[in-house]
Amino acid sequence: MTQRITSIQEMQQLARQFHREGKSIGFVPTMGALHDGHLTMMRQSTEDNDITVISVFVNPLQFGPNEDFDAYPRQINEDEAMVSQIDVDYVFYPSVEEMYPGEIGTHVTVGRLAKVLEGALRPGHFDGVVTVVNKLFNIVQPDVAYFGKKDAQQLAIVEQMVRDFNH
């Protein structure tokens, strides 16, 4: 049965426990509003790993001033119903306050890859993406992470961050 985790501390404790036990952790980061593409990655993770964790977090750092963070769909009950059919072990569902208590003093800044294509139209968007993905990796400590391929620029930027930070 899928379990919801809302606390960073609890998620970190679980991750440390699984690693001590020699279990592999697969991770699928999402912003919720799950669809078949997400489910495909989750199924792959459950096949490849002992434990599968997904995150559902709508990250305010990747929304620009004219983009409506508040209007982004949030449907955690529907999302959890979908993942429960796939044997996902944990849904990490932190609040904005849990992820960013107080002012955010440290950001990851992306280089030239974020200055073209979508990044040119949405300044700061990819900085927000890699900041939260870096935080999520530090919290969940996955052995393998699964990302969709429909946004090639975002995937390339995340892959660069993984190399740069030795995740």
Question: In angstroms, rounded to a whole number, what is the distance separating the alpha carbons of residues 123 and 64?
Answer: 8
Q: What angle do CA 98, 95, 138 make, to 5 degrees?
A: 55
Question: In angstroms, rounded to a whole number, what is the distance separating the alpha carbons of residues 98 and 86?
Answer: 27
Residue with tokens 């530090």, as numbered in its chain: 138
Among candidate residues 35, 38, 107, 125, the one labeled active-site is 38
Q: Considering only CA atoms, which of 129, 92, 122 is closest in space to residue 107?
A: 129
Residue 38 catalytic? Answer: yes
Question: In angstroms, rounded to a whole number, what is the distance separating the alpha carbons of residues 111 and 96?
Answer: 26
Residues classed as catalytic: 38
